[in-house]
Every structure is written in structure tokens, then in C-alpha cells.
Structure 1
Amino acid sequence: MATFEKGILGGFSGKVGNVVGARWRGRNVMRSLPQRGNYNPTQDQLEQRERFSAVIAFLNPIKAVESQYFGKPQGDKSRYNLATSYHLKEALIATPDGFTIDYPKVLISKGDLRGLNNPSITAAAGQILELEWNDNSGQGNANPLDKLIVVVYAPEPNLYQVFDPAGTREEAAVNLPLPAFMAGFEVQVWATFSTANSKEAAISSYLGALVVT
């Protein structure tokens, strides 16, 4: 792949001869056209595709959360790129049918902010999740007005509920209402804190699995 800034052609997009011009990450680039022919991917390549597909299918519905709260961009790597890389390496389980998400290892955020202290969650009647934690405001960089973010995932219908914000650190308890149709489904829950301006976040906590009542 060749890059170019200014020349007799300048930047262009589309195919010219056997090259394709495009704009990629803020730069003008040229790529040669792929060679046609029979190609059989290796077993390792097929496995990597399966891994990538499993992670992207899980993360895409909460891309806005990961893009806002997962670490800090590193060069050309966005927060979402970093989240994808982490989950590919750390949050997959191999099964005879492919790959599934290792829910306890999922992170919806990553950063240096103080996280939830001693959280607990229970299912109450009326499709309510009751979340409690110890208010640790004043410890390190924890602020009373840090906002709580919660992600609830029901694997069977493959549906998410995102609460952003769900409350503040100083509240120490919140009720999370879920849609009535989620009654009876098992859900996975993660929670984290971010600063009020959303610029800093904590490493998220996995709160476990429970059945909505």
C-alpha cells in the first residue's frame, strides 16, 4: 500500500487501472487490486474469523458505551478497537459449536476511576433489578456525582438494556426497570462509574446472572 499527499493526480477515490484510491484514517492511500483465483483459508484463519464474528456480534449493540468509556485512544486505535482487541484475547470460550462470550470477563469500560465498592444486585417483582453498593466518595478520585452506567444483556432473545446514567455514586442504590417482556429471561449485568463529563471511567464490574421476575 502506498500513501501520497500531493501530486499530479492529487487524492482520488475509486479504481484507476490496477489500483484503487481511497481515504483511510485521514490519509490518501492507494491499494493494488486483489488477485483473482481460488483461495482456501487455513483452519487458523477460519477460527480467527469465528472469534472475530462472535466478539463483534456481542459488542456492536453496545458500541456507543465501549466507544465512550473503554480506555483512551492509542494512535490509530479507537476505544472500540481496544475493546474489540481485549475481548478477542480475554473474553471468549471455545465450544464444539464455535465461540461464546465469557461473561465474567466482559468489560464495558476501562480506566483509572474508582469503581463500584461491594456491589450487589437482586431481581424484584415487576421486572425490576435492585442494585446496591457502598458509597466510596472521597476515596482516591471517587466523586459523589460520578455517574453510574449499567448494561443488562439477555442472551436468549439477544437484547440489551443500557442505563446511562442510571444514578450517581452517592446514591448507593438504584432500581433498574426492564421491559415486561423480559420477565423470565436470564440476564447478565455489568456496571461502572464515569466522571460527570464522561471523560474518565472505571474498570467495570460484572454483577452476575439473574432471572428477571
Structure 2
Amino acid sequence: MGTYNKGILGPFSGKVGTVVGANWRGKDVMRSLPKKTDRTPTETQLLQREKFTAVSNFLTPISNVVSLYYGSGSGELTRRNQAMSYHMKEAVTYVNPNFEILFDKVQISKGDLLGIQNPRASSPAAGDIRFNWEDNSGQGSAKNTDQLIVVLYSPLEDIYYTNGNAATRDAARVTLTLPTYFARLEVQAWITFASATGKSYATSVYLGAVAIG
């Protein structure tokens, strides 16, 4: 059932007859209902749907990061949609019979803030992961208060770990104790910086696979 205000010339939401109204990114929009079809999708269409699903399934668990730090918050595309577009084009490949994420192409953030200098990742003790980097505070727009953001993913168990405030830029090192279920797993690791206000952020860096002790 649809609702509307001030007649058809005013904003409304939901289904009204053959159209659907909604508020999208602050704009009142109206769309026609999709037409039903009995046509069987082509192999290409099916593959595109599988590709979309693979990318969406990978990004959804880290939406808390992507929705804040990927691309521009203005324009018609949401940050999530910008991330979907990039990863659909650059970060997924088909290995029969499935689509696989190219971890070295993944970006958890994309922005203009000065990024991480000479980052390294290791697991110095059981259940821990350590990140080291060089403090480049004061270069360009980089500040010592910039926050380190961490995303880890275990392909074997299909589980994620995110930390949006792991350390400040000037710390140059941080050791994180992971949940116990990450013990003895290999994780893919990405890190990035965001300003303390969250209004600016760097393009993320991929640190490869790390075997957690």
C-alpha cells in the first residue's frame, strides 16, 4: 500500500498504482514498477548476477567501514555503491565454477588523506596481530591524531574483524588481541587512516596474508 502527501504532485512512498515512490538520498523519486518477464536469463546475465552476489557478500560484513570511508559522500552514488562499482570491475575474477575476490585489489577505503608509510604486519604471539608503520604526521594533511582502521578476513572460516580506532598515526605500532576464534587462522589484512573527525581518509593498503599464532 502506498502513501502520499498533497496529491500526486507531492512526495509519497510505496506503491501507488503502477508507480513506486521513495525518498532516495534526500530526493523524492518515483519509479515505474518493473515488468514481469518469463524470459530465461542468458548465461552472461546469470554470471553477472553471481558476480554481483560475490562482491556484495564480501563487502556487506565491512559496511561499517566502507559506508564511512569509501569515495565521496556527495553525488548520486552512495559510498557502498561506489565500492561495489570498483570491486565489480577490479577486485573479482571468475575461477570456474565460482567468482573469487582478488584480495590484493580490495580497497576498504578510498580518499585523499596521506596514507600509511612502510606498513608491516606480523603475529608476535598466539592470538595477536601487530602492525608497524612510520609516523609521517605533519606531512601534507596527515595529523598525529589520525585513527588507524583495521579489517581482517579469514577466507577459510569466512569471518571478519574490524577495528575503527586501533591506534593513532603517531603511535607507529599497535598489537591487537583478536577474538579466540581467529587463533591459528590465516587472515587477509587491510589498514588505513582516517582523521579524528572522520571527514578525511586515506586509500587503504593491503598487507597480504598473516598467519595468526
- TM-score between both structures, scaled by the size of structure 1: 0.91
Q: CA deviation at 1:74?
A: 4.2
What residue is the counterpart of 2:32 in the other structure? 31
What residue is the counterpart of 1:98 in the other structure? 98
Q: CA deviation at 1:33?
A: 5.3
Q: Secondary structure at the match of 2:197?
A: coil
Q: CA deviation at 1:9?
A: 7.2
Quickly say closer, same or farther: Cα 1:196–1:9, change in 2 above 3 A. Answer: closer
What residue is the counterpart of 1:59 in the other structure? 59
What residue is the counterpart of 2:14 in the other structure? 13
What residue is the counterpart of 2:130 in the other structure? 130
For 1:20, the aligned partner's letter is V
- Distance across 1 between alignment mates of 2:171 and 2:91: 31
Residue correspondence of structure 1 range 1-213 to structure 2 within 5 A? 7=7, 10=10, 11=12, 13-16=14-17, 19-25=18-24, 26-32=27-33, 34-35=35-36, 37-213=37-213
Q: CA deviation at 1:15?
A: 4.4
Q: Secondary structure at the match of 2:54?
A: helix
Quickly say closer, same or farther: Cα 1:45–1:138, change in 2 above 3 A. Answer: same
| Native 8 Å contact 2:149 2:162 kept in 1 | yes
- Distance across 1 between alignment mates of 2:77 and 2:117: 31
Q: CA deviation at 1:98?
A: 1.6
Unaligned runs of 5+ in 2: none
Q: What percentage of aligned pairs have identical amino acids?
A: 42
Quickly say closer, same or farther: Cα 1:140–1:9, change in 2 above 3 A. Answer: closer
| Native 8 Å contact 2:20 2:32 kept in 1 | yes
- TM-score between both structures, scaled by the size of structure 2: 0.91
For 1:110, the aligned partner's letter is K
| Native 8 Å contact 2:121 2:131 kept in 1 | yes
| Native 8 Å contact 1:71 1:111 kept in 2 | yes
Calculate the aligned-residue CA RMSD, in Å: 1.9
- Distance across 1 between alignment mates of 2:180 and 2:29: 50
- Distance across 1 between alignment mates of 2:47 and 2:204: 28
For 1:22, the aligned partner's letter is G
- Distance across 1 between alignment mates of 2:82 and 2:207: 22
Q: Secondary structure at the match of 1:86?
A: helix
Quickly say closer, same or farther: Cα 1:47–1:33, change in 2 above 3 A. Answer: closer
For 1:175, the aligned partner's letter is T
- Distance across 2 between alignment mates of 1:33 and 1:50: 21
Quickly say closer, same or farther: Cα 1:24–1:42, change in 2 above 3 A. Answer: farther
| Native 8 Å contact 1:66 1:79 kept in 2 | yes
**How many residues were matched structurally?**
207
- Distance across 1 between alignment mates of 2:8 and 2:62: 44
Q: CA deviation at 1:91?
A: 0.2
Unaligned runs of 5+ in 1: none
